A and B are shown apart, each in its own frame.
Chain A
Amino acid sequence: MTRARRGPRGGGTWLVAVLVAALLAPAAGTSRADDEVRLPPITRETLENGMRLVVAQTTELPLVEMTVMIGAGAAQDPPGQEGLAMLTAASLTRGAGDLDAEALAVAIESLGGAVAATAGTDATVASAEFLAEDFDRGLELLRLVLREPRFGKDEVRRVRDEQLAALVAALEDPAEIAEQCFAAFLYGAYPYGRPQEGRTASVERLGRRDVVRFWDTFYRPNNVILALVGNLAPADALAKLRAAFADWEPAAGAVPTRAGPPPPLSARRVLLVDKPDASQAQIRTGAIAMPRNAPDLLPAQVANTILGGGFTSRLIEELRVKRSLTYGASSGFAARLTGGDFRMATFSKSPTTVETLALLLATAEGFRSEPIDPRALAKSKAYLRGQFPLRVETPDALAARLAEIAFFGLPQDELETYRGRVAAVTPAEASRAAERWMAPPEQQAIVVVGPASELRGPLEARYGSVQVTTPEGCERLATPAAPGE
């Protein structure tokens, strides 16, 4: 395949501005009637055992989609047991109730359905999809997976071995290495520095007993949110969900105590991850920023769209369009429960890697330190508002958004008010958010994955001290007592 992307060329800025102003003025104004998003009615209910349910009916497709968030993820992995939340999640579907692993797979797949679970940093997410007419059977299978996983000794061992193999396989992917090393380098021993899959040394030691303990502690209704969206009457859906989960036993310690905010960086740090065979280097830079529920997140995202979102961003213009240094460049805020970060990503062939990195940082700093152009802001807002309906277009996307709203404690009308709130962001608010949350270059963590023999000299010449490691070596950056604490 070749999913191509491209960008525009420079020049003609004045013409662009005039055309955009003339043709798009109506779309770029403030709140309008169509700021309302056509969402189905949403019903919320909390069961006596604390489990939170969110239900909405869509009728376009004959499907029912469920997103379940269990409030424990890799951040809850006990020290030395990194990878346990993931192992637990992946083991859920290897046998449940009376069904062994094979029988469970047959039961799900013979319906053309799907049930999958994976651990994120703050939560484990299980998702299920079935035809609406198979909902009763599908819900029963999901109930079994969440409440009665068998965790057979040999099955947990198999999943563990798969996880270990995946850790090895991930070392083949330069972008994946860059992401893992960046998280470890930026967050250090803070829980967000850990790879969700764990590390070889920790996963090797995990077994059934650890999985059962993790599940027994955290997989409790008072730590669970279930969102259902699909072609099913809400009253009917709620009745069936109650029947499946109302007798699930809550537990006092199920909701984990969360870490405080991650410590910010005080100075620039540069990590070079040696990949001697690479002809192109992956680049990641960034700094600690804010959690998902921070009021500044929205204006910061509006500002970020100008810097590194879409195909008309500053980064694309400077790195790709004007100089052909890269095929892609982007920036964004990763916002989680207890903290988050601002990060930028790009890549370039080895000979132009340092030039690309320097330009990435300089472009972001230029943007951060200057007031935002109101016309650029109007375009950013039009883009975010226009794309929003597509972010909640499918039942599974809507279910995921609804579960997240509950999990992050966001206002219940988060989706309904989104476009109006974007429209209301002022240039001053966006400028202030950018200046505050997009760190200056001298306070960013910089990670480059590429051939050290070619890159070390030029990086040291520009940035001074450079820490060099191997892809495997990044694991050690996130262990306690590593830099960053």
Chain B
Amino acid sequence: MPERRRDSLTGPPPPPNRGTVLRVALVLVIALAGARSSAGVLTLPVETRTLANGLRVLVHPDHSAPVVSSYVFFRVGSRNENVPRTGMAHLFEHMMFNGGKRFGPGVFDDMIEGSGGSTNGYTSRDLTAYVNNFPREALDTVLALEADRLGHLAITAQNLEQERGIVMEERRLRIDNDVGGTMFERLYLHAFERSPYRWNTVGFMADLALITLEDARRFFATYYAPNNAVVVLAGDVETADAFARVERAFGRLPRHEPPAPVSAEEPAQDGERRVIVRKRAELPALLVGWKAVRAVDPDRAPLDVLVKLMTGGESARLTRNLMRDHELVTTVGADLQWGIDPELFTLYAQARPGRHVDDIVARVDAALARYARETVTPAELDTARRQLRADFVKGLKTVSGKANQLGFFEVVFGDHRAMSGLLEQWDAVTADDVRRVAATYLRPAQRTLVVLDPQPAAPGATAPADPAGGR
């Protein structure tokens, strides 16, 4: 499947709490199977605190295994970039592993892995996250390493050049030499005109070449501040002790000027857009994006339900129609990313050999017209809700998953407690809501179609490179 963005950044800021210690004890109670049974309830105790320097801290104790997951989220992603400096947030994420003041180059990974932990990071349009999963004994080591790089990253020419080359290989892997990755990059570029969601998080190849040491320094000074970060600890920790350790590690880092807000206001789309991608490939494919909503929009929940109604399983209507009834596609999947800014509702379908994209579009149009005209059945609605719940629980199976979700909601929804409201929002969606959002958002005038026109193999010939491949 094509690339999927996961997470996101800068939403409404967390409740300010200058200086003093505020603790909010909260138990997220997640009713998985409706109200009828206690067996279907998942509880997620979370305590929060904001340090004097603005660092937000979330702690979820879970003693089922002697491991801890730490996530440090920064409210910066590719939405905070501009042309010609796209790719900055992600390139910077790479640079964050190459040493600070107390711990020099190469030490970060060595110490984490040497203490039995694993470490990684990811960047999305909305946020940057740094992940460590480790035995509980390593907690202080991990916090010291994280605080050192947040406060004192060594931004050197060597660090920048090393990661620039690596990120260019990453771009070749994920975008330039990946048919789905290319299609998704094209979709966002053409669907959005002004929103910084236009460009892929990995950035344009030409921009990656332009990033300077000064850009990196300015970026670090602007976004890598305690008051622009959220630390989440989940796993085998005691809450009070965990807060004390975080305070010790991060408490002395100074607050920075908050970054300027991002403006993502997008002009209204005045008609369908079609983009043809000509690339070496085996099968035609279609990727459609409709202008949709931001994560906190009340219409997000009915659109979530619509995703499942369309392609949530073999019994879902569009999947059944395209896969079984007409045998048009090898795969089909709808999706709605949850973003700080308005996102796209997407649909990807790959044609079977000998089938045509036009036929897929016609079937999709017919299905959407029906969703906009008629209400779905109560049974379909119930199945869609159960699938949303099941997916949600899958994200909470591990301590790492829980820490990731808590931070994601804190950053993208503005409050981790939004997690517990999710199931209620889905439960409240009516068949009429679904009909309304289908009619409102999934209209041809609001959509951009990316059509993959596969080019045949030409052995021995030097085929033209991907246009954005930037050689």
Contacts and interface: CB of A to CB of B under 8 A. Distances in A.
B114 A24 contact: yes
Interface stretch (B46-54, B213-221, B274-282, B429-437): B274-282
A348 B110 contact: no
A453 interface: yes
A2 B66 CA distance: 30
Contacts of A387: 116-118, 133
B27 interface: no
B61 interface: no
A105 B313 contact: yes
B176 A279 contact: yes
B386 A110 contact: yes
Residue among B177, B282, B386 with the highest chain A CB neighbour number at 10 A: B177
B397 A15 contact: no
Contacts of A311: 97, 109, 113, 118-120
A481 interface: no
B177 A174 contact: yes
Given A62-B33, A390-B67, A470-B459, A348 B314 contact: no
Contact of A110 (B124, B379, B463): B379
A256 interface: no
A413 interface: no
A102 B320 CA distance: 9
B79 interface: no
B116 A165 contact: no
B382 interface: yes
Contacts of B122: 1-4
Interface string A387-413: 101100111100000000000000000
A1 B166 contact: no
Contacts of B398: 390, 393-394
* Size range of the chain A interface in the assembly: 35 or more
Interface string B32-55: 110001011110000000000000
A310 interface: yes
Contacts of A105: 313-315, 320
A363 interface: no
A38 B136 CA distance: 14
Contacts of A61: 42, 393, 396-397
Interface in A113-160: 113-114, 129, 131-134, 158
Contacts of B465: 277, 279
A9 interface: yes
B172 to A, nearest CB: 4
B116 A277 contact: no
Contacts of B346: none
B397 A393 contact: yes
Contacts of A93: 314
A168 B351 CA distance: 11
B39 A62 contact: yes
Given A1-B5, A13-B106, A6 B389 contact: no
B101 interface: no
A133 B386 CA distance: 13
B362 interface: no
B251 interface: no
Nearest to B355: A165
A5 B393 contact: no
Contacts of A129: 390
Contacts of A389: 65-67, 135
B459 A312 contact: no
B110 A133 contact: no
Interface stretch (B15-23, B155-163, B189-197, B293-301): B155-163
Interface in B420-471: 455, 457-463, 465-466, 469, 471
B105 A9 contact: yes
Nearest to B319: A105
A321 B107 CA distance: 13
B70 interface: no
A172 interface: yes
B399 interface: yes
Interface string B290-311: 0000000000000000000000
A217 interface: no
A280 B177 contact: yes
A62 to B, nearest CB: 5
Contacts of B40: 62, 131, 133
A34 interface: yes
A324 interface: yes
Contacts of A274: 459-460
Contacts of B375: none
Contact of B113 (A6, A276, A278, A312): A312
Interface in A294-323: 310-312, 320-321, 323
A27 B134 CA distance: 11
Residue among A279, A347, A378 with the highest chain B CB neighbour number at 10 A: A279
B248 interface: no
A172 B283 contact: yes
Nearest to B65: A389
Given A62-B39, A162-B330, A279-B176, A453 B462 contact: yes
Contacts, number: 315
Contacts of B222: none
B170 A169 contact: no
B115 A386 contact: yes
Contact of A27 (B116, B124, B161): B116
A117 to B, nearest CB: 13
A158 B94 CA distance: 45
B33 A131 contact: yes
A24 B137 CA distance: 10
B110 A312 contact: yes
A110 B97 contact: no
A324 B169 contact: yes
B170 A109 contact: no
Contacts of B109: 7-8, 310-312
B273 to A, nearest CB: 23
A166 B201 CA distance: 29
Contacts of B315: 102, 105-106, 109-110
A382 B33 contact: no
Given A161-B327, A276-B463, A382 B169 contact: no
Contact of A20 (B111, B173, B399, B457): B111
Interface in A1-57: 1-13, 15-16, 19-20, 23-24, 26-28, 34, 38
Interface in B78-105: 90, 93-99, 103-105
Interface in A34-87: 34, 38, 60-63
A484 to B, nearest CB: 24
Given A63-B393, A172-B283, A379-B114, A2 B162 contact: no
Contacts of A110: 315, 379, 382-383, 386
Contacts of A418: none
A452 interface: yes
B67 A12 contact: no
Interface of A: 1-13, 15-16, 19-20, 23-24, 26-28, 34, 38, 60-63, 93, 101-102, 105-106, 108-114, 129, 131-134, 158, 161-162, 164-166, 168-169, 171-174, 231, 274-280, 310-312, 320-321, 323-328, 347-349, 378-379, 382-383, 385-387, 389-390, 393-396, 451-453, 470
9 contacts: A2-B170, A6-B98, A11-B105, A12-B105, A169-B283, A276-B460, A323-B165, A349-B168, A394-B398
Interface of B: 3-7, 32-33, 37, 39-42, 62, 64-67, 90, 93-99, 103-111, 113-124, 133-135, 137-138, 141, 158-159, 161-170, 172-174, 176-179, 200-202, 279-283, 312-316, 320, 323-324, 327, 330-331, 350, 352-353, 379, 382-383, 386-387, 389-390, 393, 396-400, 455, 457-463, 465-466, 469, 471
Given A15-B104, A172-B179, A325-B165, 20 more contacts: A3-B120, A5-B121, A6-B95, A12-B107, A13-B106, A19-B111, A60-B62, A102-B320, A109-B312, A110-B383, A133-B33, A162-B323, A173-B178, A276-B280, A280-B169, A280-B176, A310-B118, A311-B120, A312-B113, A452-B459
